[in-house]
């Protein structure tokens, strides 16, 4: 099943259901009340002018599209890609803004390619890995020894998404002298180390799902609540200044691949035609927490990890298997740790690729 609309749980978009055509979906969406919803009003206007293009997106979602083109991924991939909406108006909005934002794919591809070939990001990311090793070496003898022993064989979730080969040495040995040129390998390792060090329990005491079994490093980093918040203002489609309060939580997306169209943070991104997929990134928050624990307030490390993570999702992740986070969904979180990001704006270049500025002055171009 590719799409579900919760208002009609018995009329889901499977191949045998009544809503198997784009026309029937568009008809149902037309019944959605547009009052007090400028995003939907803009979506309807755009849909009327670009019906065929948006219908192509809807057809792909409803029929499974790209999911069926991925070989041997089984039902789990289909489940991860399932889109789920509260009503047909939200479904149409999502398809419309998916099309409206698609020109930005070219920009994000270029920025990701630059990030993967940036000497500054290479050095910053390698330094972030070395900082983890140094932080571990500063722990008590018993815990340090246990951690180093476990890291000789440990590998986390991104070993699946990035089919890197083993080095012949374990992570514990590698992070003593990481190769800066291996940006993709290094960010995959950094992610897996985050899982190794993160607390096994949520703040409410419930155990995390899909995380490693108990490790000697578990609990050394935590998700600190103050970094889940953010606030900014923008002028919406009606010309009104809106204050958006960002809070990561269960309501900001419906499924792993479905942003919640009714929350402010999604509406603001739709208003500005920002690419969205898996919505704001918990993973970015967790990796920033690892940087804080290992590197303190080293801005080079924060920036390198954030940009390399964005590039990994854009260029390397097996997107047919798992949804990804877009640039806005990463940097809107990373900015809470000092990484420069101007809301709804792409920089001209990734760090280290601006021909007009040396790296040491990269931030000054925004001041």
Segment 195-210, tens digit of pLDDT? 999 987 666 667 776 6
Q: For strand 229-235 and strand 241-247, is the pairing parallel, antiparallel, or unpaired?
A: antiparallel
How many residues in the chain? Answer: 367
Query: Could you tell me which residue, 202 or 273, shows the higher pLDDT?
Result: 273
Task: Give the rounded distance of the alpha carbon of 298 from its chain centre.
Answer: 22
Domain boundaries, the chain: 22-104, 105-354
SS3 call for 151: coil
Specify the range with the lowest mean pLDDT, choosing from 79-93, 284-298, 346-360.
Answer: 346-360
Q: Give the pLDDT band of residue 47 (cuts 50, 70, 90).
A: very high
Q: Give the pLDDT band of residue 251 (cuts 50, 70, 90).
A: confident
Q: Report pLDDT for 58.
A: 87
Largest CA distance in the chain: 67
d(CA 272, CA 236): 8
Per-position b or e across 289-306, b if 16+ CB within 10 A of its CB: bbbbbbbeebebbbbbbb
Is pLDDT above 90 for 150?
A: yes
Q: Report pLDDT for 309.
A: 97
166 — alpha (psi -120 to 50), left (phi > 0) or beta? beta
> Per-residue pLDDT tens for 347-361?
999 999 877 655 544
The pTM assigned to this predicted structure is 0.86
* Mean pLDDT (whole number) for 315-343: 87
Residues 206, 208, 209, 212, CA torsion sign:
negative
Helices assigned H by DSSP within 138-218? 141-150, 158-161, 171-174, 183-197
Residues 301, 307, 311, 312, CA torsion sign:
positive
Query: Could you tell me which residue, 27 or 120, shows the higher pLDDT?
Result: 120
Q: Which two three-digit tokens encode residue 107?
A: 């920009």
Query: Could you tell me which residue, 14 or 102, shows the higher pLDDT?
Result: 102
> Per-residue pLDDT tens for 170-224?
889 999 999 999 999 899 999 999 999 998 766 666 777 667 778 999 999 987 7
d(CA 102, CA 323): 16
Three-class SS of 38-98: HHHHHHHHHHHHCHHHHHHHHHHHHHCCHHHHCCCCHHHHHHHHCEEECCHHHHHHHHHHH
């Amino acid at each position: 099943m590719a799409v579900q609309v919760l208002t009609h749980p018995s009329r889901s978009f499977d191949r045998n259901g009544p809503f198997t055509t784009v026309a029937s979906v568009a008809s149902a969406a037309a019944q959605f009340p547009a009052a007090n919803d400028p995003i939907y009003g803009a979506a309807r206007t755009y849909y009327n002018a670009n019906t065929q293009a948006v219908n192509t997106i809807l057809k792909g979602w409803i029929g499974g599209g790209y999911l069926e083109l991925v070989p041997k991924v089984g039902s789990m991939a289909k489940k991860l890609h399932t889109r789920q909406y509260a009503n047909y108006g939200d479904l149409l909005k999502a398809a419309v803004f998916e099309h409206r934002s698609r020109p930005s794919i070219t920009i994000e591809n270029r920025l990701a390619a630059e990030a993967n070939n940036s000497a500054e990001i290479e050095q910053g990311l390698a330094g972030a890995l070395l900082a983890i090793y140094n932080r571990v070496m500063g722990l008590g003898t018993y815990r340090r020894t246990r951690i180093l022993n476990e890291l000789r064989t440990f590998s986390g979730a991104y070993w699946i998404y990035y089919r890197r080969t083993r080095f012949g040495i374990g992570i514990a040995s590698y992070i003593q002298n990481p190769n800066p040129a291996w940006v993709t390998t290094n960010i995959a390792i950094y992610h897996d180390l985050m899982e190794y060090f993160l607390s096994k329990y949520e703040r409410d005491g419930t155990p995390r799902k899909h995380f490693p079994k108990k490790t000697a490093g578990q609990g050394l980093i935590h998700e600190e609540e103050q970094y889940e918040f953010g606030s900014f203002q923008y002028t919406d489609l009606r010309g009104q200044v809106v204050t958006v309060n960002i809070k990561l939580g269960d309501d900001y997306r419906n499924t792993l691949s479905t942003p919640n169209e009714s929350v402010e943070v999604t509406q603001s991104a739709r208003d500005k035609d920002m690419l969205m997929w898996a919505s704001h990134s918990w993973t970015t928050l967790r990796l920033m927490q690892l940087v804080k624990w290992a590197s303190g307030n080293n801005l080079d490390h924060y920036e390198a990890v954030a940009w390399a993570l964005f590039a990994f999702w854009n260029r390397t992740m097996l997107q047919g298997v798992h949804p990804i986070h877009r640039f806005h969904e990463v940097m809107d979180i990373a900015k809470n740790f000092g990484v420069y990001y101007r809301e709804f704006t792409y920089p001209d270049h990734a760090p280290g690729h601006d021909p007009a500025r040396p790296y040491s002055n990269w931030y000054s171009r925004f001041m």
